Amino acid sequence: MELRHLRYFIAVAELRSVRAASEQLHVTQPAISRQIHDLEDAVGAALFERTPRGLKLTAAGTAYLAQARDILTRVDAANRLARRIAAGVHGHLRIGFVENAAWIGVVSHALSAFEQSSPHVALELTPMNSPEQFEAIAAGQLDGGFCYRLGTLPQGLASIPVLEQNVVLAVPQAWPLGATGAVMTSELAGRPFIAFPRRIYPAYYDRLLSACAERGLTLDIRQEASTETAILSLVSAGMGAAIVNAANRYRPPARVRFVELRDLSVPLPLEFCFASADANPALARFVEQLR
């Protein structure tokens, strides 16, 4: 049995005439009659009574007509859904992001614009640090993510540059340091610092400490925290200073002052990273829109 059997059957049942169905479908009458007979053989029951006035549905045919209409309606809906998924306007997209990156206008605008242009794509957004995102993308647990990339991308990943951030000094507001403007790294010597453990993002940790060492500064790290949100909470509590992503300025915590560093720069390129072999059409649509 094929879908054309159902279409021919429905046309004959609604028009009560093989001739009328032939004209509507642009198929010869013998072909339609043969398909109806084949359908009845497949069903194992007569679907029409042949009367002098034409064809009339049997009780079995009446019941079969309702089911046949429902089947074609569901097939048409499945076809439409498949086309929408293939076009990337329907489906599911899993995106990771570094928390402070979401406070930057370009990231929030990109997500909002995609949601508006593709309202039937379910966006699953997961905050993760950059190394966690690289692993999740490679493992197929994320379709892509907004990551800070230092060094080469892991094998199999591609990326689109979004913007470049830098670092800034965060100090407790009670400290006089930086109250009148930018400071030099030499002014930071001997002060207590808060940082994250090296295992969180070794490339960034090494880059930051190397940049400080090049200017003769060795950070006196007294406390460690796994996220910049936690680090800034300790700065707010007066536990020490921290060198953090400048994106944190978009959501300044209470009792923390951000101060420019005149002679220290650690560029932080934010990129949208994704598996180059990912075949999710919704991802292709997002990448196209982001470009």
Delimit the CATH 3.40.190.10 region(s) of the chain. Answer: 91-162+270-290, 167-266
C-alpha 112/C-alpha 91 separation (Å) is 17
Q: What is the pTM of this model?
A: 0.70
Tell me the pLDDT tens digit for each residue of 64-113: 888 888 888 888 777 776 776 676 666 899 999 998 888 878 898 999 99
Specify the CATH number for 91-162+270-290; select among 3.20.20.240, 2.30.30.60, 3.40.47.10, 3.40.190.10. 3.40.190.10
DSSP secondary structure, 55-107, as one string? EEE-HHHHHHHHHHHHHHHHHHHHHHHHHHHHTTSEEEEEEEE-GGGGGSHHH
pLDDT for position 234:
97
Tell me the pLDDT tens digit for each residue of 53-67: 778 888 888 898 888
- Residue 282: pLDDT above 80? yes
Fold for 167-266, please state it: D-Maltodextrin-Binding Protein; domain 2 (3.40.190)
Helix ranges restricted to H, the chain: 3-15, 18-25, 29-43, 59-86, 105-117, 130-138, 202-214, 228-236, 281-290
CATH class given for the domain over 3-86:
mainly alpha
Residue showing tokens 């006035």:
53
Query: Residue 123: which residues within 8 A CB-CB, separation 6 or more?
Result: 93, 95, 111, 114, 115
pLDDT for position 72:
83
* CB hemisphere CA count around 243 (13 angstroms): 28
User: What secondary structure letter does DSSP report for 176?
Assistant: -
Delimit the CATH 1.10.10.10 region(s) of the chain. Answer: 3-86
- Residue 128: pLDDT above 80? yes
Tell me the pLDDT tens digit for each residue of 180-216: 999 999 999 999 999 999 999 999 999 999 999 999 9
